[in-house]
């Protein structure tokens, strides 16, 4: 009997497998495989080179089979027969032998039920492969499969199963339980592939959206430059400052600071210099921190905290005594809030910043 060691592959009864003759030559066996030769497949627990294989490296259950044919191109077809218990494995550099005995199982799955469940599985697979470009040629393979054993054998390399889990399918004596394990592995394979495809499509859509937005931004910038050249008298202070940033050649750190000012100018309008004083101080302060992100700041209310509720309360108390009113933050948020648009005139910002700088020096 010709012994064929395999690893990380599902071998099941009543399935035809195809191999290249070279696979058997690589086993360094002296005998050539012939038609009608009896073979037995033994599953390795770990991947091993032929000269490293030992009897303890194999699982105790294998599959017997028979060589159906060998074509002129060296392809070998082997039809598996049944599960076998493997005993007395002997491995030498020139040959490998094993004593085997047919293994019985529990036939507890009705043939009609198995067919109905297989037909449902195949229908799901046909629907599944329509999502992919390779689905056209894969369709003929799916239609060719006659049972779930042929499906998992063909998909063995793609299923999300470890070598031990693949062997667990083979060793299961109950035909119902074995069917359920195979069925579940195929449905899981389709679900994982579906989720992966959706994630890939979502990522591609996000990339395409970024590319579109970037293209639109460049078109707008091009049109803006044309308008600036046609009507230089209408170029705004914001646009002039933006042009200076682009033409300055300043380093990255300086550019980031300049762009902060530019963003505030775009948000706050021509009077941003006065209102920007408070935000500039908050950005550089070691004690006070602004609550809103730079691109979400309001010209109506500047919210900020010290990070210490007790220190916040002290600041509100002392600022009130110094003549600054309504600086206490909203009760649901806490911290401080400076109404720099209505309640506080622009000239009051400088006084507030001076007071905050003094408070920081005394309490930081």
* pLDDT tens sequence across 75-94: 889 999 999 999 888 877 66
- Does the pLDDT at position 15 exceed 50? yes
Rounded distance between C-alpha atoms, residue 54 and residue 90, angstroms = 8
- Does the pLDDT at position 269 exceed 70? no
Rounded distance between C-alpha atoms, residue 143 and residue 154, angstroms = 13
pLDDT in tens, 42-76: 999 999 888 888 889 999 999 999 999 888 887 88
How confident is the model over 301-306, as a mean pLDDT?
85
CB count within 10 Å of CB 103 equals: 19
Structure tokens at 188: 């899981």
Structure tokens at 267: 């948000």
Reported confidence tier of residue 195, pLDDT bands at 50, 70, 90: confident
How confident is the model over 97-120, as a mean pLDDT?
93
Rounded distance between C-alpha atoms, residue 302 and residue 275, angstroms = 9
User: 48 by DSSP, 3-state: which?
Assistant: coil
**For a pLDDT cut of 70, what percent of the chain falls above it?**
77
Reported confidence tier of residue 270, pLDDT bands at 50, 70, 90: very low
Rounded distance between C-alpha atoms, residue 10 and residue 85, angstroms = 17
Rounded distance between C-alpha atoms, residue 98 and residue 187, angstroms = 36
Give the chain's count of helices (H) and strands (E): 11, 9
User: 291 by DSSP, 3-state: which?
Assistant: coil
Q: Are 58 and 44 in contact (CB under 8 A)?
A: yes
Q: Are 338 and 327 in contact (CB under 8 A)?
A: yes
Residue 274 CA, chain-centre distance (Å), reads: 47
Rounded distance between C-alpha atoms, residue 167 and residue 162, angstroms = 9
User: 28 by DSSP, 3-state: which?
Assistant: coil
pLDDT in tens, 136-173: 888 999 999 999 999 999 999 889 899 999 999 999 99
Q: Measured between alpha carbons, how far is residue 79 from residues 41, 72, 135, 178 in Å?
A: 11, 19, 27, 20
């Amino acid at each position: 009997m010709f012994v064929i060691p395999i690893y990380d592959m599902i071998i099941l009864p009543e399935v035809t497998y195809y191999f290249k003759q070279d696979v058997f030559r690589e086993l360094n066996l002296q005998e050539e495989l012939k038609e009608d030769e009896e073979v037995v497949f033994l599953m390795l627990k770990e991947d091993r080179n032929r000269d490293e294989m030992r009897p303890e490296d194999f699982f105790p259950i294998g599959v017997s089979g028979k060589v159906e044919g060998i074509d002129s191109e060296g392809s070998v077809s082997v039809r598996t027969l049944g599960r076998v218990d493997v005993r007395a494995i002997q491995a030498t550099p020139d040959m490998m032998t094993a004593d085997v005995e047919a293994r019985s199982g529990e036939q507890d799955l009705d043939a009609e039920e198995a067919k109905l469940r297989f037909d449902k599985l195949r229908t799901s697979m046909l629907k599944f492969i329509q999502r992919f470009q390779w689905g056209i040629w894969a369709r003929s393979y799916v239609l060719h499969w006659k049972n779930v054993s042929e499906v998992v054998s063909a998909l063995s390399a793609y299923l999300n199963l470890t070598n031990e889990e693949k062997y667990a399918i083979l060793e299961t004596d109950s035909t119902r339980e074995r069917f359920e394990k195979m069925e579940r592995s195929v449905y899981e394979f389709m679900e994982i592939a579906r989720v992966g495809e959706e994630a890939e499509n979502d990522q591609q859509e996000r990339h395409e959206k970024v590319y579109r937005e970037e293209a639109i931004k460049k078109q707008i910038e091009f049109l803006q430059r044309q308008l600036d050249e046609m009507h230089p008298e209408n170029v705004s202070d914001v646009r002039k400052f933006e042009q200076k940033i682009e033409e300055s050649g300043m380093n990255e750190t300086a550019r980031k600071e300049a762009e902060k000012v530019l963003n505030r100018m775009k948000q706050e309008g021509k009077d941003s210099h006065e209102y920007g004083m408070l935000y500039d101080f908050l950005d550089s302060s070691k004690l006070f921190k602004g609550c809103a992100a730079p691109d979400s700041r309001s010209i109506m209310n500047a919210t900020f905290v010290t990070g210490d509720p007790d220190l916040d309360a002290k600041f509100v108390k002392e600022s009130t005594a110094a003549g600054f009113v309504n600086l206490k933050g909203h009760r649901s948020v806490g911290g401080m809030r400076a109404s720099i648009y209505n309640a506080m005139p622009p000239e009051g910002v400088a006084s507030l910043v001076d007071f905050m700088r003094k408070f920081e020096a005394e309490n930081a």
